[in-house]
Each structure stands twice: as C-alpha cells, then as structure tokens.
Chains A and B, each alone.
Chain A
C-alpha cells in the first residue's frame, strides 16, 4: 500500500508539469484555432533565457524570473502573432500545422546558435535540497511549487476565459470571427493577447521542467508530446478535462515506473510509449467533431495536365541519367535519396493535397517498407519491394480505420502518435507473433539490405539504384496524376473542399479516406524500400517521427496538391541543401534553418512555392520553339560533357546559361506576342480568369475597358 501511495504521489507531481503545458496548448488552440506545435520550443527558449539571466549572469532569481516570464515569454508570443500567425487566416489545417512545426524547428535552430550546444548548463531547482514530507515519502519544494502553479494556472485560465471581457471575446473569436467583429471586438488584439498568455504559460512550463532535466534544446521542445495527450482529453477546449487528462497520464507514468516488469523484453520499452498510446485512445473516444467548412480556402491546386506530367516524368528520368553519367560515385550516393525519399514526399500529395488529410507518419510507413525489403528482398528478390508496398499499405489502413472519424489536427496527432509508438517501442522489439504471423522488426540494431534484381538486371550500384528510383518516382508521379483525373481523385478533392457538402450529397467518405491512406502508405513503403537499398543497411533511427517532419514541411511548402511538390521536396532536402552545405559551415548553419524559415514563409503564400515557380516558367513552357532549341542546346552540352570536353562545373554553368538564355528568349517572345494580341479585344479567355490562374493586369485592363466605366462617369458628370 505504501508503494502504491508513493507512486501515486510521484504520478501527481508529473501531472502538475503536464497540466501546465497542456493548459497553455489548450488556451492557444481555444482562442486562436492554431494547434501550437512550437509550444514546447517556446518554453525551451524561455528556459534557456532564464538560465542565462539566473546562472549565466548570476542575477537574483526574482529579477531573472520577471524578465524571462514577465517580459520575454509574452513578447515571443506577441512577435509570433504579429509576424507569422496573422498571415494564416483562411488557410487549411496542413498549412497551419506546418507553420507551427516550422516555428519549432526555427526556435531550436535559433537556440542552438545563441547557446552553443556542446557545453553543459547546470541549473539548480527552486529551493534545491529542501523537501516536504508527504505521507510516506518526500517531495521537493520544486515539485510542490509545480503542483501549486498548475492549480493557479487552472483557476486563472478559468477566470480569464469565463469571467473577463477579453476572455469571452477570445472564445467568441474562435467560434465566429466575423460575428465577433460585428459586435465590436478587435480580433487582432484578442489574438495578440492569446499568444502573449500562451507564451507566458509555455515559459512557466519550461522554467519549471528544465532544472530537473538537462537544458537541451531538442528534447525540451519535444516533451510536450506527452502533454498533447492531456490536451486531447480536454478536446483542446476544456481546461478542467485537460486537468483530468494530465492526472491520468501522470499517474499512468508513475504506476508504470513502479509496477512494470522490467525484465520483460516486450514491455521494457513500453513506458516511454505509454503517453502516446493514451493519446491514441483518447483520440478515439473524443466525440465526433462537427463537420465544419472553412469559408474559403486560400490554397489552390490545379489538376495536373498531360503534357506537364509527361514533361516531369521524362525530365526526372533524364535528370537521373545525366546525374549518373556525369557525377562520380560519391555524389551519386549523396544525392541518391532525391528520388527514393522523393517518393515518400510524393506519397503526401494524394493524402494531404488531394484529400486534405494529414499524416505525420509517412516516414514510419517508409520504415515498414524498408523492413519488408530487408527481410523479404534477400538475394535481390523483387518480392521485397512488392511486400514493402503491401505491408505499408496494410499499416496505413490499420492507422486509418480507427481514426477515420477524425480530421485535421486530431488526425495529425493520431498519426504522430503512431509514428512515435513505432520508433519508441515497436521498432525495437524482439521478434514476436501475432496469431499465425511472425513479425520481425529491427532486432538489435541495423539490418542488411540486398539490392534488388529485376528481370536479370542487378541494381547493385548507386548509379543503377538512382536510375531505378527515378523511374519509380516518375511512375508514381504518373500514377498520382492519373488518380487526380479519376473519379476517385475527384471524390478526394471534393472531400477536401467540403466534407459537409460531400455528406449532403450522400457521398460515403469512409472508403475514400481509408483508400487514400492505404495508397499513400503503400507509396511511402516503396520509397522506403528503395531508400533502404541505397543505404545498404537500415536502422530504426532513419525513420523516426522527427526525421519525417522536414519531408512533410517541405512538401506543404512546395504546394501539397501538386505532383511537382514531391520533386521539389526531394530535390530541396536531399539535393540542394546537402550541395550548398558543402560550401562551408556557414552555409550548413543557414541551411539548418531552411525548413523552419520556409514553413514560416508559407503563411504569406499558402499555395506553396511550386505554383510560383510554374507561373514563372510558363512562357518557356508554352513556347515550343524556344523549348525545343533549349533541349537541343542542352543535349549538345551534355554530349560535350560525355566527350570530356569540360568538367562538371563548366557543365553545370553551361546548362544554367542555356536555361537562362532560353527563358529570357521565351519571355521576350511572349511579351511581343501579347502586345500584338491586346489590340484584339477577346473577352472569351476571361472565362477562366481567377479560376485556373490569378487575374493578370492585362485581363483586368480588358475588363475595365469592356465596362467602359470612364464614359459612364463622364456621362453622369455631365
């Protein structure tokens, strides 16, 4: 009984920490509608600042606390609101999610630049060494303070949200911003206040947690995964229920520490995964969220065109062939993941872009694919790659079935929970049996992967594997484009645009949702399988949640609904960034903040980077003559390179030069043409203006002249 009591008390001290962090999350979500993944990172940053004030510079604790919590933490919240979150009105969940994840990445990078990570930063707890006797055990002053603060926070938030004018308008703003505005509230001020309080709560959590752990930017930022579970208990809205959740999770962790049999190899690693499993279960019992429609969606993704897809698929294969024939083996090995992990990126296109579902577990599915190839592709058997798709698709379905009622942020959290459960627990298990099925995972450490043999061809060199991956990439890209053109694809897009409308029309949304999950997981599995072959041996660390986040971020940054964003993500993350990082440590440092900055910039341009790029090259694409000559010129340059007329640098510069010249030529020709056309007033091409492409100044001018408002005004003046 004593033991039980001891671990109950231990659990309650943990609950205090989770309650503080989770209520901060709930506050931000309930008042701004944004699930702030960066909540823990803000807390981490404030904790670092507190360390700097209190221990780095040795200031007295009250001053350090006042500066860190009273000034810095709310200021961070305000800056985030002003600079980043303002731009996110009317964007989809995926975009908002990416922005907050990017913010987390950015804050971690910033902390690492300010506070050099390799030295240790000792931090003493509040009233270190002083203890209070509680029944059968003792707790420290620090733990008592944590519990007390949690209670104060709960009471304070309840009071703020229900008893103050600001709090009521905060809640009103989320329920219906327009209505609140009409009632004379000022949404921008409300949002600013929410973020300031949210930042403050994150800071309180950070300053209370950091001293009992180690001051390390990455792990402190991620501690909140456990707090998410508590927040889900409160459906991201209710502070009291969030408290219940925090207590449940704290107690579970406490009891598991006390009672989990440590010598069971299957359960030993279960405890760290417990919180995410609770999260998963909590998500399942959360009542169905209302089918909500956004008033309008700012992201816009046109369907792929046949010539566009042909150009891309052909271009990818040609690029791969050019790369393997010009680059040395080392570079080919370096840039290998451009296409294999590019396929994983591509798998997000139907799921996130078409169907509007969110999955943070794509790389985990890729890991399942890698496992299939390692276990079943022995000796080069193509069965491995087939099973990679099958196993991953089945896993995708298993994830989708229980969570199919969920959408948006809940779905993101459920898939994240799945990914974390895999990399903290399941991937590290010894072999086990599920009924008749024998499951082998990574055993202890890494597995060897044999290269594939298809139709007598051995893909055993980095070069051949790169070409194979490129061909697979092109095939998957065409498959996804075909999907978009099909009835199924249109269903998915309809689901994304308005679930309520789909339901009204009697569309059953279960099958498209499970189907697209399975398909996308299967694609990711194939990508993972190819990636595993390129690596030659695979370890679970390559496929964890955090490794997968950049892929998700960059695909969304590219523009999730576009097949080109898969290529964009692959070539940015595994081509351009490693290449430029090679220039020196300064570039590497800048690049380390890339996906953070890119995601933050997304708020300004929610349709992503690929459409911007596509719009820019449109003149070139439409000009067959210039495009043809450019291709011919490039072929000549390539032939010269193959004939060793010059080295790679010259080759790259010449290719770039040809492209620039062709682009300029196309733009000049297009301009000459359009100035000739303008004389002929043809209003018919205005039918699609603003629908398939944004309005151009020329089109606007034509509308103006068509309406002839000037003469009307003159007439009325007269």
Chain B
C-alpha cells in the first residue's frame, strides 16, 4: 500500500510537467497530417565525433541519417564496470512499476528494448552486445535504483525518473554518467555527468509557438491569460512562460491556478476567462484537464482566439474527451510527432522498428523518441571509444557532440553546451486530430529554426540552488576514468 494513493495526484501533475520539459507527442489513429510545405529533412545534421567508420552496405545498423550506429567489431576488454569482452550492461530508469499509475513512462523501457534488440541484431557496438537493465524506480525508489546502477551498470541511458531530485548525490559520487531521456527536477538539471540529447534549460524558454501566435494573432496578444496547476513544477513553468510573454510585449489580463485534485467544475474558470476579456490563453497542465476546460468554455459559448499548451497536450485523450470543443489549440514540438512519420524517414524507421521488435510497445508516446535519441547518442559515443570503453571516454564523447538530431527524430540540439534547441514545429489540435497549420513556415526540414525562437528568462527563486556538482562531492572531472 505504501504510497499507493499518495502520489496518484502528484504524479498526474508531475507527469504533465515532465512531458512539458521534454517534448513529444502521442496521437491517435485519427490524427491527420496537415503539413503541406514541409519536406524530408536535410541529412546534414551532425552525427557526433568519430562515427564514420563502418559503412555497412546493407544499411543494417543505420538509423535515420546516422550510418553504422551498430555493427560487428572486435572491441575487447573488461574496461569498466558492466563492460566485458562481448557485453556492455546499461541501466535505464523509469517509473513503470508505480502502482498508482501502472505503466507510467513505460515507453522509456520500450524504446530501450527496441534499440538494444535492433542494435544487437546488427552486431552490437563494435561487436559488444548491449544488455539493457531495467531500473524501475516505481516513483519513490529512484535513489535505490541509482545505488544499484552505481555498482552494476556501465552507464544510465535513455531513462528518467519523476523524483530524480533524490539520488543525484549518489550518482555523482560514484561517477556514474547519464544520457537521460528527460530530467524532471532542477536538481537533476543542475547536476554533473549528464549529457542530455535534448537538453532542457533553466534560463531559456522555447518560444517558437509564442512567436508563431504573435505573428498570426497580433490583435489578441494584449489580452493574454495564464492558467496553471497548483504544483511547484507547473507554477515554475508558468512563471517562465509569463516572463517570455512579457519579453514579447504581451499583456496579461488574467492569471489563475487550478488544483487538479479539487476542481468540481471548470465553469468558474471559463467564466473568469471570459469576464477578463481573455483572447489568448497560455495553459500549463495535464491534457485531460485541458479538454475539460475547453468543454467548459464551449458550454458558455466563449471562443478564444488561441490557446497555447505544452507539447504534452499532444495526447489522443485531448481529442477524445474534448471532442468538438478542441479548437484553436496550439503547441510546439521539438521531436517530430508521429503523425508526420510519412514525411520523416527517421520517425518512420522508429515506428517500423517497434512494429518489428515490440508490436505491443508504446511506440507513439513522446518520451520514447527522446529515449531512442539518447541510445543513439550513447552508441555513437561508445563506437568512437573503440575498445577503450570507459565511463570517462564515453561520457566525454557524448558530451562533446555539438549538433545532434537523433538521426532525424528531433530538432537539432547541442548536448555539449546544453543549450535549448532553436527549432520547433507548430502543431494544432482539431476535433479530428493533430496537424501542422498551413501557414507554418518551416525553414529547416520540418522545423522552423531561428535564434529568435528562444528567449532568456529569469530563473525562479529557489530553482537555481539545486544540482550536485563534482566539486560538491569532493571530486573532479579527472576522477572519471
């Protein structure tokens, strides 16, 4: 029973948040593609350092625009914890065993399984097979799983835990590097030995959707409302969004917090939004609550010019529950949504690999793409280290990648600097599914990229002090071997 009820509610919010942090999408069968002016992305996106060795003619072991990610080789030696002549043991963290929400973030395990099976079938990395160790934190046991991984795993790849604020001291102390799919807490984001393939940022905000709305609806940016859940994490995101909006010269006419656990009705919010004269609303929270809000707005016959949601709203539940009330809802994606698979070979290949290796897996859940990208980054780094697979070599190789798209799964990112991506896709939710609006102008494959897509924001009080550095546990980067 412990923590069965407890975190149900919490998790609802935290789950929403982590999905906001890491972009992604999940859409239903009824999702339609609406991008008319997009094309197959250029294949010049970076592939890390030293990944140009094996050139498998059959393309086995190629992913997207990355060639020979996996393949045979003759690497040998028990060079580090979890590494033997023919095997590398890698841990993946998720919360799938949390009884309050069974299967929470199961896609992290699923993506890891698909990647390792595919990679091992292709011959492993330099001939070493990858063994995936599922480290199920079940929400509350993050710290324990880290301690286990410290002793047994070579690295942590493609995972993440909702309560990742605990366990960072242990991870840094035992010099266990991580290539995560997402990072939930500010503690984790500020901690050392992490190379995130799609880095989050504390002091920058993805504003591609705001820019888009600013251009498309210039008349309604003076009447903007903000609505968020009463959780430290969503309030944090809301504060950054308000900061970003102020940067763009938007004016706020309405602001409120809801508590997903106690709202008996969404009508009060709908009426308040209406009576404040709100024309555009920025919403940070869960997609099911968003659907209920949209219905309440529809009930009082009030139509917003636009509603900006996080990429976690790209969830089939929004359409199913919201129905006809889902209008003028926009969000930005940095990972190519699965409804665009036909226009993006990497996404297609990702879905095909799921079909081949794990047909029942969660192939459309957003974090799975991030996870797969983490695995690709890891594989490239291991490959570049040849036989000398040490935590130091692999981490430094992954951390020095400056231009990364996960083979084309997502927008170009900078794992080396941890800078936020400058690119995004605008997605609109409609009663029939998700689509890219016709007037969205992509300039880099499916994405619109520009320095203007990111605005600097202030870090909210308290969020900056987290983070475990090597110095704080009495180590230096030279201790990483």
Scoring A residues 206 to 237 as 1 if CB is less than 8 Å from chain B, else 0, what string do you get? 00010011101011001101100000000000
Given A272-B257, A272-B258, A443-B462, A10 and B321 contact (CB-CB distance below 8 Å): no
Say whether B165 faces chain A, with CB atoms less than 8 Å apart: yes
User: Which listed residue (B101, B261, B269, B299) contacts A140, Cβ 8 A?
Assistant: B299
Say whether B50 faces chain A, with CB atoms less than 8 Å apart: no
Say whether A253 faces chain B, with CB atoms less than 8 Å apart: yes
Contact between B316 and A547 (Cβ–Cβ < 8 Å)? no
A: number of interface residues (CB 8 Å): 90
Contact between A334 and B268 (Cβ–Cβ < 8 Å)? no
**Bound: A559/B327 CA distance, A:** 56
**Bound: A412/B323 CA distance, A:** 42
Q: Closest CB-CB distance, A134 to chain B, in whole Å?
A: 11
Contact between A330 and B144 (Cβ–Cβ < 8 Å)? yes
Given A138-B300, A445-B466, A219 and B272 contact (CB-CB distance below 8 Å): no
Q: Which residues of A contact B103 (CB under 8 A)?
A: 118
Say whether B475 faces chain A, with CB atoms less than 8 Å apart: no
Q: Which residues of A contact B301 (CB under 8 A)?
A: 131, 138
What is the interface of chain A mostly: helix, strand, loop, or mixed?
helix
B: number of interface residues (CB 8 Å): 81
Say whether B73 faces chain A, with CB atoms less than 8 Å apart: no
User: B3-11, B82-90, B115-123, B378-386: which lies at the A interface?
Assistant: B3-11
Max chain B CB contacts within 10 Å: which of A116, A271, A445?
A445
Max chain A CB contacts within 10 Å: which of B9, B272, B295?
B272
User: Which listed residue (B163, B226, B261, B288) contacts A120, Cβ 8 A?
Assistant: B288
- 8 A Cβ contacts from A534-578 to B: 535-537, 539-541, 544, 546-547, 549-550, 554, 573-574, 577-578
User: Which listed residue (A218, A329, A577) contacts B5, Cβ 8 A?
Assistant: A218
Say whether B185 faces chain A, with CB atoms less than 8 Å apart: yes
Q: Which residues of B contact A554 (CB under 8 A)?
A: 1
**Bound: A535/B164 CA distance, A:** 11
Contact between A226 and B264 (Cβ–Cβ < 8 Å)? yes
**Bound: A330/B170 CA distance, A:** 11
**Bound: A442/B463 CA distance, A:** 10
Contact between A218 and B9 (Cβ–Cβ < 8 Å)? yes
Say whether B143 faces chain A, with CB atoms less than 8 Å apart: yes
Q: Closest CB-CB distance, B166 to chain A, in whole Å?
A: 5
**Bound: A283/B345 CA distance, A:** 64
Q: Which residues of A contact B271 (CB under 8 A)?
A: 6-7, 10, 137, 257-258
Contact between B256 and A546 (Cβ–Cβ < 8 Å)? no
**Bound: A333/B170 CA distance, A:** 11
Contact between A443 and B461 (Cβ–Cβ < 8 Å)? yes
- 8 A Cβ contacts from A327-355 to B: 328-331, 333-334
Q: Which residues of B contact A178 (CB under 8 A)?
A: none
**Bound: A446/B255 CA distance, A:** 24
**Bound: A269/B462 CA distance, A:** 18
User: B37-45, B230-238, B430-438: which lies at the A interface?
Assistant: B230-238
Scoring A residues 236 to 273 as 1 if CB is less than 8 Å from chain B, else 0, what string do you get? 00000000000000000110011010110000110110
Scoring B residues 181 to 200 as 1 if CB is less than 8 Å from chain A, else 0, what string do you get? 00001110000000000000
**Bound: A594/B63 CA distance, A:** 47
Contact between A333 and B5 (Cβ–Cβ < 8 Å)? no
**Bound: A212/B296 CA distance, A:** 8
Q: Which residues of A contact B163 (CB under 8 A)?
A: 539
Say whether B358 faces chain A, with CB atoms less than 8 Å apart: no
Contact between B257 and A122 (Cβ–Cβ < 8 Å)? no
Q: Closest CB-CB distance, A671 to chain B, in whole Å?
A: 37
Contact between A446 and B5 (Cβ–Cβ < 8 Å)? no
A264 — nearest CB in chain B belongs to which residue?
B255
- 8 A Cβ contacts from B199-215 to A: none
B184 — nearest CB in chain A belongs to which residue?
A445
Contact between B230 and A547 (Cβ–Cβ < 8 Å)? no
Say whether B78 faces chain A, with CB atoms less than 8 Å apart: no
Contact between A430 and B272 (Cβ–Cβ < 8 Å)? no
Q: Closest CB-CB distance, B17 to chain A, in whole Å?
A: 10
- 8 A Cβ contacts from B292-333 to A: 292, 295-296, 299-301, 316-317, 320-321, 323
User: Which listed residue (B257, B268, B466) contacts A446, Cβ 8 A?
Assistant: B466
Contact between A258 and B275 (Cβ–Cβ < 8 Å)? yes
**Bound: A328/B149 CA distance, A:** 13
Contact between B4 and A214 (Cβ–Cβ < 8 Å)? no
Say whether A143 faces chain B, with CB atoms less than 8 Å apart: yes
B152 — nearest CB in chain A belongs to which residue?
A330
Contact between A539 and B263 (Cβ–Cβ < 8 Å)? no
Q: Which residues of A contact B232 (CB under 8 A)?
A: 428, 442-445, 539-540
Contact between A214 and B288 (Cβ–Cβ < 8 Å)? yes
Q: Which residues of B contact A218 (CB under 8 A)?
A: 5, 8-9, 100
A212 — nearest CB in chain B belongs to which residue?
B265
Contact between A445 and B230 (Cβ–Cβ < 8 Å)? no
Contact between B255 and A263 (Cβ–Cβ < 8 Å)? yes
Contact between B257 and A268 (Cβ–Cβ < 8 Å)? yes
User: Which listed residue (A11, A118, A443, A444) contacts B101, Cβ 8 A?
Assistant: A118
A113 — nearest CB in chain B belongs to which residue?
B102
**Bound: A223/B462 CA distance, A:** 31
Q: Which residues of B contact A13 (CB under 8 A)?
A: 265, 267
User: Which listed residue (A18, A334, A448) contacts B144, Cβ 8 A?
Assistant: A334
Q: Which residues of A contact B419 (CB under 8 A)?
A: none
Scoring B residues 430 to 463 as 1 if CB is less than 8 Å from chain A, else 0, what string do you get? 0000000000000000000000000000001111
Max chain B CB contacts within 10 Å: which of A260, A446, A581?
A446
B286 — nearest CB in chain A belongs to which residue?
A214
Max chain A CB contacts within 10 Å: which of B166, B233, B262, B461?
B262
User: Which listed residue (A216, A223, A334, A585) contacts B97, Cβ 8 A?
Assistant: A585
Contact between B230 and A444 (Cβ–Cβ < 8 Å)? no
Contact between B300 and A595 (Cβ–Cβ < 8 Å)? no
Contact between B102 and A117 (Cβ–Cβ < 8 Å)? yes
Given A138-B301, A424-B262, A262 and B257 contact (CB-CB distance below 8 Å): yes
Contact between B292 and A213 (Cβ–Cβ < 8 Å)? yes
User: Which listed residue (B236, B254, B292) contacts A214, Cβ 8 A?
Assistant: B292
**Bound: A669/B213 CA distance, A:** 85
Q: Closest CB-CB distance, B81 to chain A, in whole Å?
A: 15
**Bound: A116/B163 CA distance, A:** 24
Given A7-B271, A428-B232, A17 and B2 contact (CB-CB distance below 8 Å): no
Say whether B387 faces chain A, with CB atoms less than 8 Å apart: no
Q: Closest CB-CB distance, A68 to chain B, in whole Å?
A: 20
Max chain A CB contacts within 10 Å: which of B271, B320, B463?
B271
- 8 A Cβ contacts from B247-292 to A: 252, 254-269, 271-272, 275, 288-289, 291-292
- 8 A Cβ contacts from A437-495 to B: 442-446, 448, 462
Contact between B272 and A122 (Cβ–Cβ < 8 Å)? no
Say whether A27 faces chain B, with CB atoms less than 8 Å apart: no
Contact between B463 and A445 (Cβ–Cβ < 8 Å)? yes
B167 — nearest CB in chain A belongs to which residue?
A536
Contact between A445 and B185 (Cβ–Cβ < 8 Å)? yes
Say whether A519 faces chain B, with CB atoms less than 8 Å apart: no
A101 — nearest CB in chain B belongs to which residue?
B5
Q: Which residues of B contact A595 (CB under 8 A)?
A: 1, 4
Q: Which residues of B contact A271 (CB under 8 A)?
A: 256-257, 259
A7 — nearest CB in chain B belongs to which residue?
B271
B143 — nearest CB in chain A belongs to which residue?
A333
**Bound: A589/B9 CA distance, A:** 19
Q: Which residues of B contact A331 (CB under 8 A)?
A: 144
Q: Which residues of B contact A540 (CB under 8 A)?
A: 232
Say whether B148 faces chain A, with CB atoms less than 8 Å apart: yes
Scoring A residues 172 to 189 as 1 if CB is less than 8 Å from chain B, else 0, what string do you get? 000000000000000000
23 cross-chain CB contacts under 8 A: A17-B264, A18-B264, A108-B5, A118-B102, A120-B316, A131-B299, A209-B264, A212-B267, A223-B262, A226-B262, A258-B271, A268-B235, A330-B144, A334-B141, A431-B461, A444-B236, A445-B232, A445-B236, A445-B466, A535-B166, A550-B4, A577-B2, A581-B99
Given contacts A219-B9, A258-B272, A588-B99, 6 further A-B contacts (CB under 8 A): A272-B257, A330-B151, A424-B261, A446-B185, A577-B1, A595-B1
The 4 closest A-B pairs by CB, nearest first: A443-B462, A262-B255, A272-B259, A257-B268
